[in-house]
Amino acid sequence: MQVTKTARKPGRALTPEERQTKTQQLLDAALDVFLERGFEAARLDEVAKRAGVAKGTLYLYFASKEALFEDLIRSLIASPIQEVGQRMLAQDIPAEMMLRGLLNWAKKEVLGTRRKDIARLIISEAGRFPELGAFYHREVISRGTAVIRAIVTRGVERGEFTSDALDRFPQLLIAPVLVGIIWNGLFSHVETLDTDGLLDVHADLIIRGLKGGAA
């Protein structure tokens, strides 16, 4: 008797919500693997295993390890920075309040989360993988400095600030965040750094400088 083979039915297509959930599962697993192994030693099969999917399924979402890492940076850091900047600039509030708001956001959403670990990973890996450093600069640093410049420009135009130093050197506002990331990664077992206090004092000094020394 001849056995007739039946065609295999294709799997049900995922809804946009289901695909988004699956993507987030993969990104969560990737974050764990990248932070534990570093970029070079991280393997996609381990990411897939932790996410509970086949390695082939992972390739349906991300073409390579580099693409996975880049999407992780976009979703975890770049997009939130852009969103908080747009939200602040849409409000009619003093520029000083915006700058303090950015530093308060950094306290909670960078130094208080695993975003700081990603930044530390970039610092340690960018020397060997300059393309990662260039990507992080383009997607994260450039977005952040653009927001700072926009705030300072508004403050100068409205007469709130007499100095445009932070427009020329927006890195000044970011500097203590990087100090906190590096310090807590290298020296926290020797000396604890009050990063919240550091950022508060830094904000006071920056605002005073922008106002021409006025308190």
Task: Please state, in angstroms and rounded to a whole number, the distance separating the CA atoms of residues 177 and 173.
Answer: 8
CATH C-level class of 15-62 = mainly alpha
Domain ranges within the chain, ordered by starting residue: 15-62, 65-210
Place of tokens 């965040």: 177
Which pTM was predicted?
0.86
Return the pLDDT at 12.
61
pLDDT of residue 16: 75
Q: Name the residue type at position 169.
A: F
Q: What is the DSSP string of 65-91?
A: HHHHHHHHHIIIIIHHHHHHHHHHHTS
Question: For residue 122, what is the DSSP state?
Answer: H
CB count within 10 Å of CB 56 equals 8
81 contacts 144 by C-beta, under 8 angstroms? yes
Residue 105: closest CA among 138, 167, 158, 151: 151
Report whether pLDDT(107) > 90.
yes
CATH of segment(s) 65-210: 1.10.357
The 10s digit of each residue's pLDDT in 42-51 is 999 999 999 9
pLDDT single digits (tens) 156-191: 999 999 999 999 999 999 999 999 999 998 999 999
Q: Cβ of 58: how many Cβ atoms within 10 Å?
A: 22
Q: Cβ-count burial of 115 within 10 angstroms (0-12 exposed, 13-18 middle, 19+ buried)? A: buried
The pLDDT confidence band at residue 17, using thresholds 50, 70 and 90, is confident
- Res. 8 pLDDT band, cuts 50 70 90: very low
Task: State whether the Cα torsion 147-95-109-174 is positive or negative.
Answer: positive
- pLDDT of 214 > 90? The answer is no
Percent of the chain with pLDDT over 70: 92
Buried b or exposed e, range 82-94, using 16+ CB within 10 angstroms: bebbeebeeeeee
